[in-house]
Chains A and B, each alone.
Chain A
Amino acid sequence: MLEISNLVKRYGSDAPVLKGLDLVVEGNTVVSVVGASGAGKSTMLRCINRLVEPTSGSIQLNGRELVNLRGANLRHARRKIGMVFQGFNLIDRLTVMENVLAGRLGYVSLYQAMTRKFPQTDIDRAFHLMDRVGIAHYANKRADELSGGERQRVGVVRALMQEPEILLADEPTASLDPKTSEQIMVLLQSLASELSLPVLINIHNVSQARTYTDRIVGLRNGQMIFDGTPGEFNQEALDAIYGGIEAPDETGGEEQPTEEAQTP
């Protein structure tokens, strides 16, 4: 269970990006966070695994406070939080298998990491997960030889390798073409129920949020202004979140950058 209470983030002396956010995510729900660019979605997600340092507030994962952790404690907490990125953030020059095993870096020793001598259990787990998402045959290919959708699958598997208690996804489909991005959303949805894992997805595409998630959270100017089921997410909520800022991506992502830009 993830409990965020009164979370504030302020960069330097500017106006805060997050203004006292409260959010509780339970069980294996898939929660999408929608909001215009600059609403604080990405900052909120990065506060959870402390890639961004929160200014004040509290974040608890299964009863463990995350905000004050340092050093080894922080790294141990991060192992339990998987993250999927918008730009995949794979290590381009390493093989798919190495990228996937990188999800175990919080567990193995420095020597094992350096020599790539991962425990057989990790390798088994990697193969199973890769089989599940359909990329096992790429194990020894270099990550930059894959297409965008395949790369994001590697990213998902890497996050799952951590044996996470929660999965964070920061715009996981924004760099993909519409068809591939639907596939990734389906994948995230089904993995959440298979692994009974809560998933928190930042997403720009409102129609995908409606279709593939159990709950929608709307942010605007660092404050939560909507929290409900996709059914409750009506035009009024949409206007409240995006009104006067920009047209939301209602139809399905034609404006998104396609994966051609990503594949070498």
Chain B
Amino acid sequence: MKETKSGADPLTGQKWKKPPFIASPWLRYGLLVAVVVYLYWTFNTLPFNWDRIAEGLPRAARIFGGAFPPSFERGELMWTGFKESFQIAFLATLLGVILSIPIALMAAKNLAPLPIYLLGRGLIILSRSFHPVIVAILFVAAVGFGPLAGILTLILYSIGFVAKLLAEKVEEIDWGQMEAMRAAGAGFFKTLIYAVFPQILPRQIGLSMYQLDSNLRASAVVGIVGAGGIGSTLMNAFGRYDYDFAFAILILIVGVILVSEGISGWVRKKIW
């Protein structure tokens, strides 16, 4: 250490301590105390129903006992559920991605004039601010139970993600290509087609694939609040204490998600 510079001192007997991760001792111990106090406070104020929790273990045993072996008997019902989830995810991705393109162009600072930019950003922020499950509940309340609410929810979900990242990509494009097209006398749309789209196309395809995968996952979740698909089937099975059927659905959901993640990753790697 640097203390060795003072050569007059004998080198032996010097003390060395690891410099602490957080320099100020006040902050260091303050944080520790804060964590302890926080834990104490939350455990005292949060409404834990200990009696009910105590029943947990036997209940868990009953549920898992009921769940084994998983029952694939009602394959028909499962197939309809999964098919509907696929349809919801597919249609929502398609519509969401198509809508995302104009919104992304609106929300790109380098292309859009300020009022349009703010509108585009506003649309993106609006579609991102709520968890899809909350959006789904509202759509179910507005347009009724079923896949329509699911599609609407996931369109919004897709816009929030795809449009945001696409807009960032548009803001990063090489401006020289824009200049070259404008110098050739191309109008706005021709400039878009030649100078902007080729530059964002790989990102667009990658995002679409990612979003399809992500919508498929989400469609299983929004179904739980009544927006159609396999999630609704799962919720019904849980509601009727059909644990063996529910467990079978869960296993299939995990399987389908893994396969879809694999496919989407493979396609994205191919195209990139």
Binding site for B on A (CB under 8 A): 49, 51, 72, 75-79, 81-83, 85, 87-94, 98, 102-107, 110, 113-114, 155, 158-159, 162
Contacts and interface: CB of A to CB of B under 8 A. Distances in A.
B198 interface: yes
A50 to B, nearest CB: 9
B42 to A, nearest CB: 53
Contacts of B201: 93
A65 to B, nearest CB: 17
Given A89-B176, A110-B190, A102 B181 contact: yes
Interface in B193-208: 193-195, 198-199, 201-202
5 contacts: A91-B199, A92-B174, A94-B198, A110-B189, A110-B193
B181 A105 contact: yes
Given A75-B185, A79-B185, A87-B176, 7 more contacts: A78-B184, A85-B180, A91-B195, A102-B184, A105-B194, A110-B190, A113-B194
Given A85-B176, A110-B189, A93 B184 contact: no
Interface string B167-195: 00000001011011111111101110111
B181 A93 contact: no
A4 to B, nearest CB: 17
B203 to A, nearest CB: 11
Contact of B185 (A98, A106, A114, A155): A106
A103 B190 CA distance: 11
Contacts of A81: 183
Given A91-B177, A91-B198, A93-B199, A105 B185 contact: yes
Given A90-B177, A91-B177, A105-B190, A83 B183 contact: yes
B194 A102 contact: yes
A90 B180 contact: yes
A77 B180 CA distance: 15
**From A92, A93, A107, residue with most partner B Cβ within 10 Å:** A93
Contacts of A105: 181, 184-186, 190-191, 194
Given A51-B179, A87-B176, A93-B198, A79 B184 contact: yes
Contacts, number: 83
Interface string B129-166: 00000000000000000000000000000000000000
Nearest 10 CB-CB pairs, A to B? A106-B185, A89-B176, A105-B186, A79-B185, A78-B185, A89-B180, A83-B183, A93-B198, A75-B185, A105-B190
Nearest to A86: B176
A3 to B, nearest CB: 20
B183 A78 contact: yes
B231 to A, nearest CB: 39
A72 B183 CA distance: 13
B184 A162 contact: yes
Contacts of A77: 185
A103 B183 CA distance: 9
B99 to A, nearest CB: 20
Given A105-B190, A113-B193, A89 B185 contact: no
A51 B182 contact: yes
A72 B190 CA distance: 13
Contacts of A90: 177, 180
Contact of B179 (A89, A93, A107): A89
A85 B181 CA distance: 11
**From B180, B182, B189, B191, residue with most partner A Cβ within 10 Å:** B180
A32 B244 CA distance: 83
B194 A94 contact: yes
B179 A162 contact: no
A190 to B, nearest CB: 23
A114 B177 CA distance: 17
Given A91-B194, A91-B195, A105-B190, A85 B184 contact: no
**From B183, B186, B189, B198, residue with most partner A Cβ within 10 Å:** B183
A49 B185 CA distance: 9
Contact of B177 (A49, A51, A89): A89
B180 A83 contact: yes
Contacts of B177: 89-92
A59 to B, nearest CB: 15
Nearest to A104: B184
Contacts of A89: 174, 176-177, 179-180
Contacts of B183: 49, 51, 78, 81-83
Nearest to B176: A89
